Amino acid sequence: MRHPPEGVLRRLLDEPAGVADSDRRHVAGCPQCLDELATIREDAALVGAALATEDGADVDVAAAWQRLSTRAPATAPRLSAPPRPGRSRAVLRRPVVAALAVAVVLAGAGTAAANDWLQIFRTERIAPVSLSAGDLVALPDLQAYGDVVVTGGGDPQAVPDAAAARAQTGIDVPEVTSLPRGVSGEPIYQVGDQVNATFTFSADRAAQAAAQAGETLPPPPPGLDGSRVRLVVGPGVAQTWSSSAGAPALVVGRAVAPTAYSSGVPFETVRDYLLSLPGLPDDVAAQLRTFTADGATLPLPVPADEVTTSSAQVDGVPATVLQTRDRTLAAVVWVDDGVVTAVAGSLDVDEVLSIARDLR
Partner 1 sequence: MDLSRPGGAAAAAVLAAPGAVAGAAERRVGGKERVTVSGSVRGGVRADLDEIFRRDYQRVVAVAARVLGSRDQAEDVAQDVFLSFGRSSVPAGEARGWLSVAAAHTALNLLRSGRRRASREETAAAADDPVVSDVAEAVVTLEERSRVRAALARLPRKHAVALVLRHSGLSYADVAAALDLSPGSVGTTVRRAESALRKELNRHASSA
Task: Please choose, out of 25-33, 200-208, 215-223, 252-260, the segment that lies near partner 1 by the rule CB under 8 A.
Answer: 252-260
Choose which of 119, 132, 243, 354 interacts with partner 1 (CB under 8 A).
243
Residue 35 φ then ψ, to 5° = -60, -50
Nearer residue to partner 1 within complex by CB, 220 or 235: 235
Question: Per-residue x/- marks for partner 1, 184-223, CB under 8 A?
Answer: ----x-xxx--x-x--------------------------
Does residue 15 touch partner 1 according to CB under 8 A? yes
Choose which of 72, 293, 337, 360 interacts with partner 1 (CB under 8 A).
72
Does residue 5 touch partner 1 according to CB under 8 A? yes
Instruction: Give the count of beta carbons closer than 10 Å to the beta carbon of residue 216.
Output: 10
Half-sphere exposure of 148 (CA within 13 A, CB side): 22
Interaction residues for partner 1, span 293-312 (CB under 8 A): 300-303, 305-307
* Pairwise CA distance, residues 322 & 288, whole Å: 19
Does residue 77 touch partner 1 according to CB under 8 A? yes
Choose which of 140, 146, 220, 248 interacts with partner 1 (CB under 8 A).
248
Q: Closest separation between CB of residue 199 and partner 1, Å? A: 10
Does residue 8 touch partner 1 according to CB under 8 A? yes
Nearer residue to partner 1 within complex by CB, 210 or 260: 260
State the DSSP string of 169-184. HSPPPPPPSSPPTT--
* Pairwise CA distance, residues 99 & 97, whole Å: 5
Q: Closest separation between CB of residue 113 and partner 1, Å? A: 22
Does residue 329 touch partner 1 according to CB under 8 A? yes
State the DSSP string of 230-276. EEEE--EEEEEEE-TTSSEEEEEEEEEPPEEEEESS-HHHHHHHHHH
Angle 31-51/21-28 helices, nearest 10 degrees? 100
Q: Closest separation between CB of residue 43 and partner 1, Å? A: 4
Choose which of 120, 255, 319, 353 interacts with partner 1 (CB under 8 A).
255
Nearer residue to partner 1 within complex by CB, 150 or 265: 150
Beta bridge partners of residue 310, listed in sequence order: 321
Does residue 68 touch partner 1 according to CB under 8 A? yes
Task: Please choose, out of 24-32, 65-73, 212-220, 289-297, the segment that lies near partner 1 by the rule CB under 8 A.
Answer: 65-73
Does residue 158 touch partner 1 according to CB under 8 A? yes
Torsion of Cα atoms, 275 then 276 then 277 then 279, to 10° = 80
SS3 19: coil
Task: Please choose, out of 100-108, 218-226, 266-274, 283-291, the segment that lies near partner 1 by the rule CB under 8 A.
Answer: 100-108
Does residue 10 touch partner 1 according to CB under 8 A? yes
- Using a 10 angstrom Cβ sphere, with 0-12 exposed, 13-18 middle and 19 or more buried, the burial of residue 349 is middle
Question: Per-residue x/- marks for partner 1, 25-64, CB under 8 A?
Answer: ---------------x--xxxxxxxxxxxxxxx-x-x--x
Does residue 109 touch partner 1 according to CB under 8 A? no
* Pairwise CA distance, residues 343 & 254, whole Å: 9
* Pairwise CA distance, residues 50 & 45, whole Å: 9
**What burial letters (b/e) apply to 106-128, b meaning 16+ CB within 10 Å?**
bbbbbebeeeeebebbbbbbbbb
Handedness of CA 197, 203, 204, 208 (dihedral sign): positive
Q: Closest separation between CB of residue 86 and partner 1, Å? A: 9
Does residue 87 touch partner 1 according to CB under 8 A? yes
* Pairwise CA distance, residues 245 & 31, whole Å: 40
Interaction residues for partner 1, span 117-156 (CB under 8 A): 153, 155-156
Does residue 79 touch partner 1 according to CB under 8 A? yes
